[in-house]
Structure 1
């Protein structure tokens, strides 16, 4: 989403990417292990695992790390992990979805609830904010993949639902159940995508001023730093003016 994309750029410019990268590798490895445990260890026969491996490769997770994560699933690791979704409101009334994978539900729930409370948010019940999002597949291509018409035509032929093109690149949206098939079809025409994953796409957004943006970013940072949290999605928007102030 636009807000999260902007925040990722801010983190990158501030030099936080190294620590975040290590944390991301660990979380992607966990997803690969669980995906392989829940289905066939062969990515070609397991759509969820195939997507997890594609996402890992997109951020340059080493091949041996990916293979080791798959091997762990066959050794019994990943048996105890439970997938849980938490929903709540952050500063400024922004809707926040937290996706976690944990071997201790009580520990994770306590940590997530405490984090929301300490950073100006409130954890709600399941379903309290997810109605403001749609579950979609997201395929990201760089500007170099082609002009807007070229990418749009390739996406339509592949069975995608929508395309958003900008100076930063192209985002192709699909139905959540069609992501694997559409990504395979579109890559035949445009080549390897930068990113292929399932997302929560907001149907409505909340714009934040500088104070609200700073508080929300801190909440997201702390949540994402937790080992049990796989990803955080929020329906915020930041103006270019506020973005520049955050980047300073």
Structure 2
């Protein structure tokens, strides 16, 4: 399991699913709000909003919850002024970590992120201090039950994608960041809505972790993920099957 999966499918964390679900909804509602304020409520002409709606559907957010968030944003009922910020640094064992956030208080978020890095033996760096170790790509994900690997590969090639990785669980289609909307829309027309379609940071190289290092890193990532301001986390770790099994115990 490599870090570019953003660790949301790590199997050992099975508890508090309802709380995690609420956190996910909170983050997505914030993204829906910002996207609607930025580009309006028409998802056909607002690529960011369309991506947020796809993400919300992917976690089964009720339609009325999405619509309410968008209407509040467009109608000016949500007065929060969110800004996008990115934090970069090194976690335990020298793992490079990128944290992206939407916040209405830069000082609070920076303090929270910095203290989390420090608590678990990491250190926060300057902007671009680790992002050079990642590629900024578009990622579109479909379940394997929706289409065969061969069909997906051919369609992704026609759409202009750069790479397709098919596993037992999903087809992951990668493309240039500037081409995400085009590839996504082509595949939607052919196969319907994906599980997700978003920009990611994919590590160029990964760092293998032993059991103790993985436990420490995941504690740090859990704390960061639990922060309402944090939207996405990317890290260049890699974990063997044996370590994953040990973590599940």
Specify if TM > 0.5.
yes
Change (3 A) 1:13 1:127: closer
Counterpart Cα distance in 1 of 2:26 and 2:11 = 19
Is it true that 1:194 corresponds to 2:188 in the alignment? no
Counterpart Cα distance in 2 of 1:40 and 1:152 = 34
Is it true that 1:137 corresponds to 2:138 in the alignment? yes
- Provide the TM-score with structure 1 as the length reference: 0.95
Is it true that 1:172 corresponds to 2:165 in the alignment? no
Counterpart Cα distance in 1 of 2:6 and 2:36 = 32
Residue 246 of structure 2 is matched in structure 1 by 245
Q: Secondary structure at 1:45's aligned position in 2?
A: coil
Offset at residue 147 of structure 1 (A)? 2.7
Residue 22 of structure 1 is matched in structure 2 by 22
Offset at residue 162 of structure 1 (A)? 0.7
Q: Secondary structure at 2:10's aligned position in 1?
A: helix
Counterpart Cα distance in 2 of 1:10 and 1:95 = 18
Question: Pairwise mapping of residues 150-161 of structure 1 onto structure 2 (< 5 A)?
Answer: 150-161=151-162
Counterpart Cα distance in 1 of 2:20 and 2:4 = 15
Q: Secondary structure at 1:10's aligned position in 2?
A: coil
Residue 48 of structure 1 is matched in structure 2 by 48
Q: Secondary structure at 2:151's aligned position in 1?
A: helix
Kept in 2, the 8 Å contact 1:37–1:79? The answer is no
Structure 2 unaligned segments of length 5 or more: list them.
none
Offset at residue 5 of structure 1 (A)? 3.9
Offset at residue 157 of structure 1 (A)? 0.8
Aligned length: 248
Structure 1 unaligned segments of length 5 or more: list them.
none
Task: State the structure with bigger RCO (CA 8 A, min sep 6), 1 or 2.
Answer: 2
Residue 203 of structure 1 is matched in structure 2 by 204
Q: Secondary structure at 2:81's aligned position in 1?
A: coil
Residue 64 of structure 1 is matched in structure 2 by 64
Residue 147 of structure 2 is matched in structure 1 by 146
Q: Secondary structure at 2:129's aligned position in 1?
A: coil
- CA deviation string 1:53-75 (max 9, x = no partner): 11111111111111111112123
Offset at residue 2 of structure 1 (A)? 3.0
Counterpart Cα distance in 1 of 2:14 and 2:93 = 24
Change (3 A) 1:11 1:222: farther
Kept in 1, the 8 Å contact 2:142–2:172? The answer is yes
Counterpart Cα distance in 1 of 2:48 and 2:10 = 30
Offset at residue 191 of structure 1 (A)? 2.5
Counterpart Cα distance in 1 of 2:137 and 2:17 = 26
RMSD over aligned CA atoms reads 1.6
Counterpart Cα distance in 2 of 1:73 and 1:6 = 28
Structure showing the higher helix proportion among its residues: 1
